[in-house]
Amino acid sequence: MNVIFIVIHLLFGNFYTDSTKVSADPPVSVLNEYVDLTNETIHGLLIIHRLLENYNQKLNKQITGGTPINLYNNSDLPKDIFEDPEGWFFLKNPYKIVERLEQHAKSNPRDRSNALLPSARRMLKICNAINTSRFTIEQYLQKNDMKDSLHQKVIFDKLEVCVGMYEDYFTTASKLETDVLAMYAPKDYKKRSYFYHISQAHESLKNILRTLRAKEESRIDSELSSLKRLIAQIELANDKTGPLQGTLGKIHSNVIVKIIEAHDNAYLFANTAIVPSEYQLYDKFYYYHNSQVINKMNRYGNGYVREVNLLMDQLKIEELKLFEEPHFFQVAYPKDEEEKDLDIISSEENVVENLPEQLLNRSVTSSEHLIHVDSMTFTINLYDYKLTDGDIVSINFNGDWILKEYSLEEKPVKLKIKLNENGKNFLLLHAESIGRRPPNTMGLSYYFKGEKKEMVLKSDLKASEMIEIEYVDPNRS
């Protein structure tokens, strides 16, 4: 019996082990399919991105006036942009790329690259959801009176959902890119190659774009210096390997020009940051990221990525292609004309050393959150949170009562507040009544780095909630 077991083990043991073994290095051609999927879906999402901007601007124009950025609409596009039945938008159809990757996984169950499939599927799922949103928003705009503030809020909320979906796509695509790069193992000689230096410059420019996406300026100067040095290294590598001639030489020249233009536009952001009128409702980060820098990289704007990848194909070099960078979406809210007429509120005390622990015979509780602002003077909106149930409040700023016995049920209130440059700054909610549904709840909203922020304060007749306000210099991280 033991002899039979040993024979079976010798015959089938190695076979069993091999069938579960994962391959060490996935084929570069397969990894490049994931690069192609990312780049093609980024291009499709940009088309929808422009539509969503248009919906946003049309609504703003109806409210206070605005400038449309794009002129096409849903009727100009196929029902599913990513199917692209007429072949208008994609060099490679995203659905067919995923089909090929699924087939490869079935045929090569031990390939490490199969672990990338869940991210690919999720990216396509997010793309489908964003594609659907362009119709739901358009239909709502057509069926409802957009002069009604309630309908306006519905559209803004739907657009904010799209913000989240674009961010979800960015997170998923970034993970896929990181995983693909981890699976790609170039030979030592390739690390000294022309394309290696291009990839290094590309990574530096991606860092600049991600700094703009995060709305942090502090790292841009160092990245610009790095990018300038890497551009010189690309030229040096081209000279050492024998300068590209003819058509390939023209492609090389275009690549260098586009990278330099991206560098120069990022430099303009760091030094002047001029934003044209049609982007005034957004901010400088949005404009320079989505228009001035990324269009020198991505296929939109005939950026260098497509040309570099084409150069690899024409030279028949097995290198990992370059990933494009996703755009980010942001809702532009109309400028409130009422803000121009608001009086600026400043506290009588120039310096508040300590936060209050008790006020008007009530204990003071500190919110676990902070209000971060990027301007020493900012506007805050106060409103009855969720249910308008008759809450009456008083608001204290740095020890001064700036609002007394105010019913938020009647009308939300806007306050323009100037912070003290030194010491503490705080807002405190004092309940004069707790309405029909205790405790007293007040919503507050404001903008930080161009994004709308919302928080809730709660108070009752025994305790008042306080929230501290901190100024964050927009020029540092």
DSSP secondary structure, 47-109, as one string: HHHHHHHHHHHHHHHHHT----S----GGGS-SSTTT-TT--S-SS-HHHHHHHHHHHHHH-T
* Helices 304-315 and 28-63, axial angle in degrees (round to 10): 160
Distance CA 341, CA 47 (A): 39
**3-class DSSP assignment, residue 356:** coil
Distance CA 442, CA 433 (A): 12
Predicted local confidence at residue 18, as pLDDT: 47
Residues 350, 420 contacting (CB under 8 angstroms): yes
CA angle 400, 405, 408 (to 5 degrees): 110
Quote the tokens at residue 37: 């999927």
CA angle 97, 99, 102 (to 5 degrees): 110
DSSP at 34: H
DSSP string, 261-307: HHHHHHHHHHHT----GGGTTS-HHHHIIIIIIGGGTSTTTT-HHHH
DSSP at 376: S
Distance CA 215, CA 330 (A): 12
Quote the tokens at residue 318: 């097995």
Which stretches in the chain have pLDDT values below 70? 1-24, 64-71, 187-192, 240-243, 301, 336-341, 386-390, 409-410, 435-436, 475-477
In this structure, what are the phi and psi dihedrals at residue 446, rounded to the nearest 5 degrees?
Answer: -165, 175
By residue count, the chain amounts to 477
Predicted local confidence at residue 251, as pLDDT: 85
C-alpha distances in angstroms, 374 versus 66, 125, 189, 212, 332? 24, 36, 48, 16, 17
Place of tokens 């039979």: 4
User: Could you give the count of Cα atoms lying within 13 Å of 362 in the half-sphere of its Cβ?
Assistant: 18
pTM for the model stands at 0.72
* Helices 94-107 and 28-63, axial angle in degrees (round to 10): 150
Q: How far is CA 154 from the centre of its chain?
A: 22
Residues 366, 468 contacting (CB under 8 angstroms): yes
Distance CA 289, CA 282 (A): 12
Q: Which helix (H) or strand (E) holds 139?
A: helix 117-143
Q: In the chain, what are the domain boundaries?
A: 20-184, 187-319, 341-471
Tell me, what amino acid is at 127? C
